[in-house]
Amino acid sequence: MARSLPGFLAQIVAVALICCSFAAAASIFQPISDSHRSAALEIFDRSFGSLEETYEALRTFDVLGLERKPDVGTTACQSVSQTLASSSSNLKDIFYALKVNGVLKCELDAESVEGTVSTFQTAVGSASSLLEFYHSIGGLVLVKDQALKGDLFLADAEGAFRSIKALSQSDGRWRYSSSNPESSTHAAGLALEALAGVISLSSSEIDQSLIGTTKNDILKLFEQAEKYDDGTVYFDEEEIDAHESQGPLTSTWSVVRGITSFAAVTSGNLNLPGEKVLGLAKFFLGVGIPGGAKDFFNQVDSLACLESNRQVLSWNDSLCLIAIPLILSLPATVNSLTRKDALKVKVSTVLGSDAPPLMVKLVRAKDTPAIESQELKFDSENKVHVLETLKKSVDVGKYIFVFEIVFHDPEHKKVYAVESKAEVPIFLTGAVKVGNAEIAVLDSDLGSTETQKNLDFAGENLVSLSANHLQKLRLRFQLTTPLGHPFKPHQAILKLTHGSKVDHIFVVGSTGKQFEIILDFLGLVEKFYYLSGKYEIQLTVGDAVMENSFFKVIGHLDLDLPEAPEKAPRPPVQPVDAYSRFGPKAEIAHIFRAPEKRPPQELSLTFLGLTVLPLLGFIIGLLRLGVNLKNFPSAAAPALFAALFHLGIGAVLLLYVLFWLKLDLFTTLKILGFLGVFLLFVGHRTLSHLASTTSKVKSA
């Protein structure tokens, strides 16, 4: 545990606690900000594989107002020209190539444009699946919007409209093709965008009944939308493992694109309630900063569609709009009374642009009658609404403020979608005074005080007390808010730590203003494991709105407890210092056997010489006896055998010397086997020859 946290750090911890403990009904959404922009620069900072990814990156940068790298533009334009010129590109690639061109405005030659237009026209005529319609019609719309070719119309617009409509289902979803029974909301979005494209490309007006049924489909689709308690609205697929499903973000993006493009080309009311549009905006903003490129693109593109779905019609005055959502956000939900922070509220569009002139009103605070309704002043420099004077009777604590937005121009109410009553949790923090603190040791029977000391939590002095098991320890203090009301913190905890690191934790209870805890050691003897000795006393008082939460060692207590009986529970084993258990052990000094004393080398060599002497004596003795080699056979064959016999014996003796020097027993035995057999054979021949010679001499 850290030693005394400064108040400011405690406040940051409090904010973190607040962010984790939100009730679903009251939540904050922040519009797109600079942190989004820097995250986008990081996420999209790589080379792109396909034209689709390139388009996503370029569109995101465009919406966020970021500079793109120059080489990205040139390589992308090259890729676009190649794709349009090649005849083997499929519809999807050409479609995305044109989308990229829409952002980059590359130079394209007219021939390839003509080629793509004709590809698309034939594709529309022969399309059977939703994706084919989407890519081909979308491509033609892009060609028209980028003014690459004038006077572009669909040959059979109404037929195309009906074919796409045929794939719709009764619950508002769409199927991908007539052969595939799976339906999805993602497909619904694509279909609506394709239908909008058909309407914009038709030379004559489409039958109004068809458009009317499509509008009904949109409303039915919104009935399928998922909702959260805080008003967030989003679309998800029914079957998770459907073939094209990529998550709620992609499905909702597709629907938003679909309805905004549809609304842009039709007249009359779409009858989409403003709360639903606001709910969609909340969903995208609630994602925060996405981690992946595709999620980022989906979020940013949808928010851009929601913000800028104005349409310019040249022949029709009545604009059918989907309401533009406005977000009420607070840069800081934690305000400090000690610093006299003013509450700031910001109202902006989802992309962070300015809202039309309006006024923000604090209607009330939930469950707190003390806060009355008041208007917030608009600071035009910082574009925030400021609540300057929080009445003096507002104390520290957690509140839920209810804000209302009132437009200066009542017409704007139809154009913009805002929350009717925005509920925002606010934390007002302040310094809590700790007073009348005292610690005492009481005698149990009479309640008389043996020692009593006053505590000063601001100072550093530690008290020193002593007690035995028949006495009690009493700690008292009072907590008051800046306005003088009694304050009940989240944590008021007393901890007693023994020298052997065994600790005991108690909660300090309160009655009204006073916090008091009485530790009766008679009952706690067993809990303390009969450990007598010096205990350190620590007090922790903390709360989210308390700026000066503290954790303090008050002093020491010398506790005298009776001896532990045999059956008493042992104190729990304290965790061993990891380094002492897993660290290096003491060095072991090995004791080796002292080597034997060897004789000096000269002595050994002398005796080696002495050993040779008898051999010399033997040879001399043999010579004196008149040893001769007369019996050595003279004939060739026996002589050879005799010679081999002697050589064989010599070889065996040499083998023995080698055995002693470096061979091992098995090798020796192997070789000895061969030599022995050889020797036996040769020796037998020699000796039998000798024997026969001798017997001849004898008999002769």
Q: Quick one: 410 or 599, whose CB is closer to other proteins? A: 599
**Closest distance between other proteins and the C-beta of residue 641, in Å?**
13
Would you give the end-to-end CA distance of the chain in angstroms? 120
If binding is defined by CB under 8 A, does position 598 make contact with other proteins? yes
Residue among 3, 581, 597, 662 that touches other proteins (CB under 8 A):
597
Instruction: Give exposure, 265-302, as e/b (b: 16+ Cβ within 10 Å).
Output: bbeeeeebebbbbbbbbbbbbbeebbeebbbbbbbbbb
If binding is defined by CB under 8 A, does position 128 make contact with other proteins? no
Q: Partners of 426 in the beta sheet?
A: 399
If binding is defined by CB under 8 A, does position 687 make contact with other proteins? yes
The window from 108-116, 315-323, 355-363, 603-611 that contacts other proteins (CB under 8 A) reads 603-611
If binding is defined by CB under 8 A, does position 286 make contact with other proteins? no
The window from 208-216, 456-464, 469-477, 593-601 that contacts other proteins (CB under 8 A) reads 593-601
509-511 and 463-468 beta bridge pairing: unpaired
Size of the site for other proteins (CB under 8 A): 36
Q: Quick one: 586 or 629, whose CB is closer to other proteins? A: 629
Residue among 506, 659, 678, 681 that touches other proteins (CB under 8 A):
659
If binding is defined by CB under 8 A, does position 647 make contact with other proteins? no
User: CB–CB of 542/551 below 8 Å?
Assistant: yes
CA gap 9, 16 in Å, rounded: 11
If binding is defined by CB under 8 A, does position 639 make contact with other proteins? no
If binding is defined by CB under 8 A, does position 607 make contact with other proteins? yes
Q: What is the DSSP string of 39-50?
A: HHHHHT-S--SS
3-class DSSP state for residue 368? strand
The window from 293-301, 335-343, 396-404, 608-616 that contacts other proteins (CB under 8 A) reads 608-616
Q: Find the angle CA(271)-CA(273)-CA(276) to the nearest 5 degrees.
A: 130
If binding is defined by CB under 8 A, does position 147 make contact with other proteins? no
Phi then psi for residue 454, to 5 deg, are -85, 145
The CB density around residue 426, as the number of other CB atoms within 10 Å, is: 21
One-letter amino acid at 682 equals V
Identify which of 676, 699, 675, 696 has the alpha carbon closest to the alpha carbon of residue 631: 696
The window from 48-56, 174-182, 186-194, 645-653 that contacts other proteins (CB under 8 A) reads 645-653
Residue among 420, 454, 514, 688 that touches other proteins (CB under 8 A):
688
Identify which of 672, 29, 643 has the alpha carbon closest to the alpha carbon of residue 331: 29
The CB density around residue 245, as the number of other CB atoms within 10 Å, is: 19
Residue among 19, 155, 605, 622 that touches other proteins (CB under 8 A):
622
If binding is defined by CB under 8 A, does position 633 make contact with other proteins? no
Q: Quick one: 68 or 689, whose CB is closer to other proteins? A: 689
Residue 114 CB partners (closer than 8 Å, separation 6+): 149
Residue among 615, 629, 635, 700 that touches other proteins (CB under 8 A):
615
3-class DSSP state for residue 345? strand
Q: Quick one: 315 or 666, whose CB is closer to other proteins? A: 666
How many residues comprise the chain?
Answer: 700
CA gap 518, 440 in Å, rounded: 9
H helices present in 86-184, as ranges: 91-104, 110-126, 130-145, 157-166
Q: Partners of 336 in the beta sheet?
A: 429
Both tokens of 20, joined, read: 């984790």
**Closest distance between other proteins and the C-beta of residue 634, in Å?**
18
CA gap 140, 519 in Å, rounded: 83
Residue among 159, 562, 617, 650 that touches other proteins (CB under 8 A):
617
CA gap 529, 390 in Å, rounded: 53
Q: Quick one: 505 or 603, whose CB is closer to other proteins? A: 603
Residue among 8, 632, 656, 674 that touches other proteins (CB under 8 A):
656
Residue among 589, 610, 636, 700 that touches other proteins (CB under 8 A):
610
If binding is defined by CB under 8 A, does position 228 make contact with other proteins? no
The window from 38-46, 277-285, 553-561, 625-633 that contacts other proteins (CB under 8 A) reads 625-633
Identify which of 654, 110, 64 has the alpha carbon closest to the alpha carbon of residue 301: 64
Could you say which residues in the range 661-680 bind other proteins, by CB under 8 A?
A: 665, 668, 672, 676
If binding is defined by CB under 8 A, does position 614 make contact with other proteins? yes
The window from 27-35, 109-117, 427-435, 620-628 that contacts other proteins (CB under 8 A) reads 620-628
Residue window 569-588: x/- pattern of binding to other proteins, with contact defined by CB under 8 A: --------------------
Q: Which residues bind other proteins (CB under 8 A)?
A: 596-599, 603-604, 607, 610-611, 613-615, 617-618, 621-622, 625-627, 649, 652-653, 656, 659-660, 665, 668, 672, 676, 683-684, 687-688, 690-691, 694
